[in-house]
Amino acid sequence: MINGGPGGIDQALGANLTMRSENLPKAVVLITAHAWVHENIGGSFKVATELAQYLASQGHRVFYVCGTREAEPVNPTRAGGVELWRYPFPKSRSPHPANVLGHVLGTRRLTRQIL
């Protein structure tokens, strides 16, 4: 038996290796996504937003970096316990390769400010 039973690894090491969530340290999490679901509707935005809000509700510090339609977004703002950092969406018509670069540079700039 690997752990938890007589003669298991727990007993061999003289310790209980079972970790419980209340014993784990809180994390600092940075999530990047195309947008915040409360500004733009989208499946991937919904998953990222809900994950960020869930982690924040569990006591983790969560930064969420994404694009916005706002020309000059105020950073940071808070929503649902999450610290939002937003950059203006790239201006090229979609789809366009310049948009990818715009998202990468926007995310990079804000991530450097956070870290």
CATH number at residue 81: 3.40.50.2000
Look at residue 90 and tell me if it is in a domain.
Answer: yes
Is residue 75 situated within a structural domain?
yes
pLDDT tens digit sequence for 31-90: 999 999 888 777 888 999 999 999 999 999 999 999 999 999 999 999 999 999 999 999
C-alpha R_g of the chain: 20
Distances (CA, A) of 14 to 2, 8, 10, 22, 24: 14, 10, 6, 21, 20
Residue 55 domain-assigned (yes or no): yes
Unique residue bearing structure tokens 């989208």: 42
- 5 inside domain: no
Is the pLDDT assigned to residue 13 strictly greater than 70?
no
How much is the pTM? Answer: 0.76
Could you tell me the residue range of the domain that residue 57 belongs to?
24-114
Q: Which residue carries 């003289």 as its tokens? A: 14
Rounded Cα–Cα distance for residues 76 and 84 (Å): 5
In a domain? residue 56: yes
Residue 18 lies in a domain: no
Q: Distance from CA of residue 11 to its chain's centroid?
A: 38
DSSP 3-state helix, strand, coil percentages of the chain (rounded to 5)? Answer: 35, 20, 45
Residue 1 lies in a domain: no
